[in-house]
Structure 1
Amino acid sequence: MKQIQMTQNPSFSLISTNKIIQMNDVWTSYDSKSFALEGINLSIDRGTNYAIVGQSGSGKSTLLKLMNGMMIPSKGTIKIDYVTPNMNDKKFKKMMHSIGYIPQNLGLVKNIPVIENILIGALPRLNTIQSLLKKFPEHEIKEAQRIISLVGLTGKEDRKVYMLSGGEKRRVAIARALMQKPTILLADEIVSELDHVTAREIMNLIADAQKRMNLTAIMVHHDMQLALEYANRVAVIKEGHKILEIGVEGETIVDFQTGDMNTEEIMEMYNDDSEK
């Protein structure tokens, strides 16, 4: 076999992979007595839109918390771009700004204006003095204004968040996450409690931002139809287990996990669960 010799100072950079998030046999618990997630295997391609669907209490939000380092698995391994997510780890702390996280409650500061909420996403790029005084450079303010236009909030920069509608608040939360200049966007039930028209406006906004910025978007949903409409792949979580991974190819729902279920069986199974 021919050997390839490598120079001492190779010109190539670190190995990259299409798989930006990888989970292998992940189990996790909140109380050390029962498991919120059991044996999760999950692989997400870079630059795609991935949805996690399931009923309340199924473990969907827990998956996002594992991805952004808010929780550590009881066993199994998680890699985000080859780095293990853990807020106490220096290597992960350096890359935390590249993960935009939108929690269910949005995490906005309700009594300050829209633009100030959005500029919070730029704080990791400021020096200590700038950060303490919240003194943002002019180029960061211009970037915030550009993102305000991108998410459709032009003219509302100075309006306090508590004065906004539900859909507008979600736009602010998305804008703040985009201000981080992330490579991964995690969104937990961001369209819940919205009417169908507003929900699709928000989903279109995220889909557009994902393409513009080459983001990997990972979104928790309870609406299977909406998830299938926007996501490249959909993981179905039930009682802490990943029971399906599906996607749409043409007009067919494809089962990537077991390969032995047709479209009708998949939708019927989910609809049955939704009625419980």
Structure 2
Amino acid sequence: MGLGGAWDAPGYGPEHIDDAAAAVEAALAIGMTRFDHADIYRRGKAESVFGELLARDATLRGRIQLQSKVGIRLGEGGGFGHYDLSGRAILEGVQGTLRRLRTDYLDLLLLHRPDPLLDPAEVGDAVGRLLADGAIRAIGVSNMSAAQMDALQDHLPVPLAADQLELSLAHHGFADTTVLVNHADGVLTSFPHGTLEHCARRGIEVQAWSPLAGGRYSGRTTAKATDADRATTALVAEMAAAKNTEPEAIVLGWLLRHPARIVPVIGSANPRRIAACAEAEAVGASMTREEWFTLFQTARGKRVP
């Protein structure tokens, strides 16, 4: 999402292509080979800039996987933005993405947001056409619950491959729903209970968007920080120093320690921050239960019941 310059800028320049190249090189250097897009990011400029990189290096496409998302229409001319997962919108969205990325196919297409007017049969027909044409190789969703995925799956020609959700040490509702079963505070979290369990049973990959919480615990300062935020930032820094690693690795390691096999989608285009994530997998593998729960309870601002 961070590629391509400002959201409202009319275009992009050589400097934006160079910035994108630096981000991709930093990602590849630490073993990241899948890149996440959406047709709306920077109003299409993020995909276009990435397409410039693919045109520069003919070998790059064969070394990476590309996924993108469709289903959100931004308000034009002062109009309201809305969701659109009609069959026509899905087909047109994918064709626009392929054109901007300068590629013949997506390894994975995600339906960006649940659409109240979604017709599962219509979506299934559109997905079937894209698969048959070779435009996409797999289909997934973003921000959907178990019930929504099941209703859609009944009309899809292939199993859903992924669900991308907001998951992080800051957005920890997925853990709250587990510990707050049969507890009055369970109504205070909006995360759809059972979603991660559903994904595990169906073999659906769980992807986490904003897994670093916008840098809340790894360098970003804000006037809106709570006491829990400040305490968590201090704890993350303390753990990073003790483990001789970066704060980003601690924050991501906390997610990776979860048995759902969460795949974090790193939102930063900053090469330094990307590099700081290099040890996250090792940190997660070595994180003790006590460390995990200490981070969790500090971030939520109170002990588990």
Q: Which has the higher contact order (CA 8 A, sep 6+)?
A: 1
TM-score by length of 1: 0.31
TM-score by length of 2: 0.28
Query: Could you say which structure has the higher helix fraction?
Result: 2
